[in-house]
Structure 1
Amino acid sequence: PSQSLRKNIGAISSYVSASTIIVSASKGLESTSGMRMTEIIKEEIPDLSPDNICALSGPNLSNEILAGKPSSSVICSINLTTAKSAQSILNCSHLRLYTNTDVIGVEICGALKNITAIAAGICDGLNLGDNAKASIITRGL
């Protein structure tokens, strides 16, 4: 999804007003530019206020959220009021959203956690045990 965000945002940009709140759930950096997802949104929709761009990051497996399994994530924006507004819309009984204003930190950590997740999966695949996997996760934190 992160590699197609620019195209997808471009397709909806004419329908977005300056006051629209956009929440990106894509994690990663664009491979061609190295840009974060919120940077791409701002570049593709220049009339959109940067205050109205949010990033959602955390363990967001959509099939588990749809199944009602408990989860938590962070929703961030440079504007705390915007983050809280998105939080109030998206919070539900099984998804707890925390707010934050460190958009760069949240997006970079969201991208880097994928590396740790892959390494943890390798531990599972090689049957290295829980200690090895916990060591990888601990180092990734």
Structure 2
Amino acid sequence: MNLKIFANESLNVKADVAILIARIVCGYAFILHGWGKIQDPFHWMGPESSMPAFFQFLGALSEFGGGIAWVIGLLTRLASFGIVCTMIVAAYFHSVILGDSFVNLTGGRSFELAGVFFTVALVFLTVGAGRFSIDQKIFGSKSE
């Protein structure tokens, strides 16, 4: 198996510092978002939910486990793929099923956060965790 898929893109130090800060801040946010879900990973959406338990588990795992992976920079691309998928489902659910707007100026439901986290996850999926990560120590960069 070729593990170079987990290798980071070669970036300059400033970009890697920015990636590190984004990983820590967004990863911590995902740990907090996923904490309640991981407590009951197969039923966190409630008994009336039509979402199968396995998909609820994947959502809880991608948020809580993905947040931890982002903070420490381990298997960042894999975690980012899970978060991308989860945010697509969240945005679809809020925009199409619930009819929420992208931004709700009165503070109600919206799918802007799912859109922002989707975008951040797409960046990490594309470039990796950066040089200040466990991924860098284990897998190196693609230029090596």
Higher relative contact order (CA 8 A, sep 6+): 2
Q: Shared topology, TM-score over 0.5?
A: no
Which TM-score applies when normalising by structure 1? 0.28
